[in-house]
Amino acid sequence: MTTAVLAETIARLAEQGSDAPRDGVREAFAALRSALSAGSVRAAEPDDASPSGWKVNAWVKQGILLGFRFGVNADVSADHGRWPFVDKDTLPLKRIDVGAGVRIVPGGSTVRDGAFLGRGVICMPPMYINIGAYVGDETLVDSHALVGSCAQIGRRVHLSAAAQIGGVLEPVGALPVIVEDDVLVGGNCGVYEGTVVKRRAVLAAGVIVTGSTPIYDIPHQRVIEPSPGEPLVVPEGAVVVPGTRPIASGPGREWGLSLATPVIVKYRDERTSARTALEQWIR
């Protein structure tokens, strides 16, 4: 089934909702899951014509939702039933062999089928990659990190321990979280609500960025906020650290309270790149 035919089929089935033929939905979803696993279909893809540089493929997200809706709970226990799990029968785990060039270190990690992992990807336990996610070549997903449904992660990205890359499955027209090539996401960071992190950016440990979070850019003396209908974009090469801003009115001002906010303190240079390159020693 070609991509065009698959997209048309899924769009038609989604329009039928709960009245769609069960066997037809499951067959189409299996084809979609296979294409997502191979990386030939993506939930979002680069688009030079878009202000964010990306466009969403809503039909892919429609298909994933159909897969959830038309699946039934099944016993998917591991270790001959001694490690019990129950999940939708349409959402098996991804099968990865040595030839894929991917390292999944033992210790409780899970990758759902329908996620793409490029060559040289390293997954440290325990971590989780959800359906529809795309993880580019040579990216490191560290312990306790999450790559949410449909999130798009570039090449040579470092997702540090406990980093949370949120998934955006609904609404289907919303752009998922995008992390472009050569980005460092520090420990305990959170990137949510369709935020786009441009290439070579550095998020220091503890930075939280959402689709509505203002980012204070000190070098350029500006506040970065999303344009109407567009995602928040962390600029290329930005070095972002956790900061605070005072509450300007009401009791919060009287009490001297501040709100957490990300702050760009500099833009990436050779010294920053040398520090982030230290991870290459573990590969």
Q: Is the pLDDT of residue 281 over 60?
A: no
- Residue with token string 């650290």: 241
Residues 126 and 240 in one domain: yes
Q: What percent of the chain has pLDDT over 90?
A: 87
Mean pLDDT score across all residues of the chain:
94
Contact 110, 133 (CB under 8 A): no
Predicted pLDDT of residue 89: 97
| Residue among 202, 213, 206, 190 nearest 239 (CA) | 202
In 17-110, which residue ranges form alpha helices assigned H by DSSP?
22-38, 58-69
Residues 63 and 99 in one domain: no
Total domains, the chain: 2
75 or 269, which is more confident? 75
Alpha-carbon distance of 54 to 119, in angstroms, equals: 23
Residues 176 and 214 in one domain: yes
Residues 134 and 223 in one domain: yes
**Total number of residues shown for the chain:** 283
- pLDDT class for 39, splitting at 50, 70, 90? very high
Biggest CA-to-CA distance, the chain: 64
Instruction: Give the end of a domain, one of 53, 69, 85.
Output: 69
| Residue among 220, 207, 227, 211 nearest 266 (CA) | 220
Q: What percent of the chain has pLDDT over 70?
A: 96
261 or 229, which is more confident? 261
Q: Is the pLDDT of residue 16 over 80?
A: yes
| Residue among 59, 239, 60 nearest 134 (CA) | 60
Q: Is the pLDDT of residue 270 over 90?
A: no
Residues 57 and 100 in one domain: no
Q: Is the pLDDT of residue 126 over 90?
A: yes
Q: Which domain holds residue 111?
A: 95-271
Q: Which CATH number do you get for residue 53?
A: 1.10.166.10
Please tell me whether residue 23 adopts helix, strand or coil conformation: helix
Predicted pLDDT of residue 167: 86
